[in-house]
A = this chain, B = another copy of it.
Amino acid sequence: MALIVQKYGGTSVGSIERIKNVVAKVKDRAEAGNRMVVVLSAMAGVTDSLIKLAKQMSPNPAERELDVLMATGEQQSVALFSMAAADMGLPAASLLGFQAAILTDRMFGKARITDVETGRIQELLDEGKVVVVAGFQGLDWDSGDVTTLGRGGSDTSAVALAAALKADVCEIFTDVEGVYTTDPNMVPSARKLSVISYEEMLEMASLGAKVLDIRSVEFAAKFGVKIHVRSTFTDREGTMVVPEDQITEKLIISGVAYNKNEAKLTVKDVPDHPGIASRIFTPISQAGIVVDVIIQNTSDEGKTDLTFTVPKTDYDKARGILSQTAQEIGAGQVTGNTAIAKVSIIGIGMRNHSGVATKMFTTLANEGINIITINTSEIKISCVIEEKYTELAVRALHDAFGLAEEAAPVAEDLV
A interface residues with partner B (beta carbon < 8 Å): 16, 19, 50, 53-54, 56-62, 64-66, 68-69, 71-72, 75-76, 78-80, 82-84, 86-87, 93-94, 96, 98-99, 120, 144-146
Q: Is the CB of B71 within 8 A of A83?
A: no
| From A50, A62, A84, A99, residue with most partner B Cβ within 10 Å | A62
Q: Is the CB of A79 within 8 A of B69?
A: yes
Q: Is the CB of B54 within 8 A of A80?
A: yes
* With A54-B79, A65-B82 already in contact, 14 other A-B pairs whose C-beta atoms are closer than 8 Å: A16-B57, A53-B76, A54-B83, A57-B80, A58-B84, A61-B83, A64-B82, A65-B83, A65-B94, A68-B96, A69-B80, A72-B75, A98-B98, A120-B144
Specify which of B86, B120, B144 is in contact with A65 (CB 8 Å cutoff). Answer: B86
This chain: how many copies in the complex? 2
Known: A75-B75, A76-B72. A86 touches B57 (CB 8 A): no
Q: Is the CB of B84 within 8 A of A76?
A: no
Known: A98-B98, A144-B99. A66 touches B79 (CB 8 A): yes
Q: Is the CB of B68 within 8 A of A94?
A: yes
Specify which of B60, B79, B86 is in contact with A68 (CB 8 Å cutoff). Answer: B79
Q: Is the CB of B83 within 8 A of A66?
A: yes
Q: Is the CB of A75 within 8 A of B69?
A: yes
Q: Is the CB of A57 within 8 A of B99?
A: no
Chain B's nearest CB lies how many Å from the CB of A286?
Answer: 25
| From A59, A76, A79, A87, residue with most partner B Cβ within 10 Å | A79
